[in-house]
């Protein structure tokens, strides 16, 4: 829960900062740049347009940030952590259709591996949003029961393993 609260706070700060920056830039454009270039009267019409553009940019950045953080953490774990090949023990699929349209498919993957510290297990969820009735069927075929998947983790913390496949991480995967 603490990770979710922290991530939510970071998202709010990034979106608010981008919105403020967009409002300042929009006001600067309509107050300074346009009058200098075209000779029109200065105005504040750029304020809401800039704020809206900043809001969109903030949401796009925070949407992609989970993947960026996962990539950075995985790169660090490959250098300093422990890597192992885990076997897929179970793969559950859950498809949900929203009341107003839209759907999502969530795969829950249970992994098991053995290293010098013993046998370890972890479960990870991968969610696909879209209009597909069956979700991403390629995911289920690539990571079927019995397949091996690379994982990386800090020594002594195998429950916090990061699965080394190119899909969106859980929030718990992002922070050590």
pLDDT by position in tens, the chain (length 176): 676 787 788 889 999 999 999 988 888 888 777 777 777 777 777 888 888 999 999 988 888 887 777 778 778 888 888 888 999 999 998 888 888 877 778 888 999 999 887 899 988 888 777 655 444 567 788 888 999 988 888 888 888 888 877 665 454 444 44
> What global pTM score does this model have?
0.58
- CA geometry: angle at 5 spanning 154 and 174, to 5°? 25
- CA geometry: angle at 165 spanning 144 and 73, to 5°? 145
Contact between 140 and 131 under an 8 Å Cβ cutoff? The reply is no
Q: How many helices (H) and strands (E) does the chain have?
A: 4, 5
């Amino acid at each position: 829960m603490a990770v979710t609260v922290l991530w939510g706070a970071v998202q709010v700060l990034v979106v608010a900062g981008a919105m403020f920056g967009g409002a300042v830039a929009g006001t600067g454009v309509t107050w300074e740049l346009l009058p200098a270039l075209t000779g029109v009267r200065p105005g504040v019409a750029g304020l809401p347009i800039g704020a809206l553009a900043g809001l969109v940019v903030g949401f796009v950045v925070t949407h992609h940030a989970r993947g960026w953080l996962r990539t950075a953490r995985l790169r660090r774990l490959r250098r300093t952590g422990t890597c192992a090949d885990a076997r897929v023990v179970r793969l559950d699929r859950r498809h949900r259709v929203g009341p107003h349209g839209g759907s999502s498919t969530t795969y829950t993957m249970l992994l098991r591996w053995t290293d010098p510290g013993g046998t370890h297990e972890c479960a990870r969820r991968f969610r696909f949003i879209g209009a597909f009735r069956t979700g991403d069927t390629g995911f289920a075929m690539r990571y079927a029961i019995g397949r091996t998947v690379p994982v990386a983790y800090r020594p002594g913390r195998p429950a916090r393993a990061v699965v080394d496949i190119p899909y969106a991480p859980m929030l718990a995967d992002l922070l050590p």
